[in-house]
Structure 1
Amino acid sequence: MMLIELQSAAVHFGAKHALTGIDLAVTRGERIAIVGANGSGKSTLLRALHGLVPLAEGRRQVGGVPRIAMVFQRPFMLRLTVHANVELGLMLQGMPRRQRRERAMRALERVGLAGESQRIARVLSSGQQQRVALARAWALQPDVLLLDEPTASLDPTAKREVEALIGEFAAQGITVLMSSHNLGQVKRLAGRVVYLEHGRMLADVSTEHFFNGPLPEAATLFLKAELPWT
């Protein structure tokens, strides 16, 4: 079942063309990694899929009314407790108070942070804050989870914890799209890889093909860490 589709999509920020001619269809249950050099358009593509940035050209279509949640590279924590940070999104959805409190606690249990529920979220470590952000997203019970560099700047232990959570969410049937520079992570978590360069999609293939099959020259150089600076 198609959940989100971009057709000939373009995003412009003033004179800068952040995305050009993007055709991408996301179906239920997929695990998609978006890769490319810095500035290639990965974060913008995630935002375009969510509908957070307007399209200068093309169309965005959704199948049914999918619930979409996004976790940003540096998740914003309010000056509230961990529990309140998770509960807020449910409150904005209009969920009754008792139900949202229970759902928020279940989400924190899911990410191993129930014991931190009454701490102020901003004092937590980066890895813990990322887990709070994942709990906040999971509590919304999304059909699609968008992750922008979910383990950037985390230590190895925190990366393993976050990767394990992402894998568990995908196993529940949540469709996962994530941008990542970590090619090992892409191999572990993704079934499909989209490669971007200068806002254009040069490859959209299975993970097996991306690492073992023929690719456009730029994607091959990227894999070899030989892509020249521009």
Structure 2
Amino acid sequence: METITRDDEQQHLMVDVDVIEARSKFRVRELTRDSETGVSILSRVCLDIPKGLIVGIIGPSGSGKSTLLRSLNRLWEPPAGTVFLDGRDICDLDVLSLRRKVGMLFQLPVLFEGTVADNVRYGPHLRGEKLTDTEVHKLLNLADLDSSFASKTGGALSVGQAQRVALARTLANEPEVLLLDEPTSALDPISTQNIEDAILKLKKSQGMTTIIVSHSIKQIQRIADLVCLLVNGEVVEVLKPEHLSEANHPMAQKFLELSS
């Protein structure tokens, strides 16, 4: 068994190694953040994110889910010695290089001016590289869009299509990790399924490590390999999706009951 322990409070979070035999991509240790008024947002969070798996982060609103996610690519700057990528403290890494490795997709897609192809080429262009049409089409296909979308503009797209273009744009940076913050909350069921299919395709084809924040228990059960339950800024459960009903924390039980 792999165990994450807070000895002083005698709390133990345990996950079967047979589920996560790959080494950890991220290690989070004693990550804490308070608001400007002194309210705890994250409280000594300890968590391992296994390489190549999809990890869901769920919990009530205000539990610190987005803050935890943003700490992983320094959109919120974590304290030194608390977040490690492949064993290296992310505070020691160049922030732009880190964000290319750890791409993020937000709740509402924002596309730049120009065509879909222009958007997909944006990241490589900043590095002095130019993607060929074939490379753009391949990235669109990874995001579950066909090549005909390359010449379209943002105004011609649905929200779901724009979200998949934003995903393709993120993938153009060749990230090792995807951070997804409620990426389907504004989408219809069909668009939601398209995004989920794209996430699963990336795991299967590229071994992509994905961390997704979602309020949808059913979505997490559909796509996640592992679920982290965050309540009041604390990791209270780490479970397989099929074992969510076995959560022990009272707040976790209530949240799961109302969400299911």
Whether TM-score is above 0.5 comes out as yes
Following TM superposition, by how much is the alpha carbon of 1:185 offset from its aligned partner in structure 2, in angstroms?
1.0
Tell me whether 1:193 sits opposite 2:227 in the alignment.
yes
Matches of 2:252 and 2:66 in 1, distance apart? Answer: 18
SS of residue in 1 equivalent to 2:179 = strand
SS of residue in 1 equivalent to 2:72 = helix
* CA contact 1:30–1:175 (8 Å) conserved in 2: yes
Amino acid at match of 1:201: V
Matches of 1:121 and 1:28 in 2, distance apart? Answer: 33
Following TM superposition, by how much is the alpha carbon of 1:176 offset from its aligned partner in structure 2, in angstroms?
1.0
SS of residue in 1 equivalent to 2:184 = coil
- The equivalent position to 1:103 in structure 2, one of 135, 150, 157, is 135
Match of residue 152 from structure 1: 185
Quote the RMSD (CA, aligned, Å).
2.0
Matches of 1:21 and 1:70 in 2, distance apart? Answer: 23
- The equivalent position to 1:183 in structure 2, one of 213, 217, 224, is 217
Following TM superposition, by how much is the alpha carbon of 1:103 offset from its aligned partner in structure 2, in angstroms?
2.4
Following TM superposition, by how much is the alpha carbon of 1:141 offset from its aligned partner in structure 2, in angstroms?
2.4
Tell me whether 1:165 sits opposite 2:165 in the alignment.
no
Matches of 1:44 and 1:82 in 2, distance apart? Answer: 30
Matches of 1:85 and 1:64 in 2, distance apart? Answer: 32
Residue-pair matches, total = 223
The percentage of counterpart residues that share the same residue type is 32
Following TM superposition, by how much is the alpha carbon of 1:2 offset from its aligned partner in structure 2, in angstroms?
2.3
Amino acid at match of 1:170: K
Tell me whether 1:21 sits opposite 2:67 in the alignment.
no
Matches of 1:92 and 1:46 in 2, distance apart? Answer: 25
SS of residue in 1 equivalent to 2:104 = strand
Normalised TM-score (structure 2): 0.79
Map residues 65-104 of structure 1 onto 2, 5 A cutoff.
67-95=101-129, 97=130, 99=131, 101-104=133-136
Relative to 1, partners in 2 of residues 1:140 and 1:100: Cα closer, same or farther, differing over 3 Å?
farther
The gaps in structure 1 that reach 5 residues or longer are none
Amino acid at match of 1:62: L
The gaps in structure 2 that reach 5 residues or longer are 1-22, 89-97
Match of residue 57 from structure 2: 34
- Runs of 4+ off more than 4 Å: none
* CA contact 2:103–2:178 (8 Å) conserved in 1: yes
Matches of 2:72 and 2:211 in 1, distance apart? Answer: 10
Tell me whether 1:135 sits opposite 2:168 in the alignment.
yes
Matches of 2:169 and 2:196 in 1, distance apart? Answer: 16
* CA contact 1:75–1:133 (8 Å) conserved in 2: yes
Matches of 1:107 and 1:179 in 2, distance apart? Answer: 23
Normalised TM-score (structure 1): 0.88
Match of residue 147 from structure 2: 114
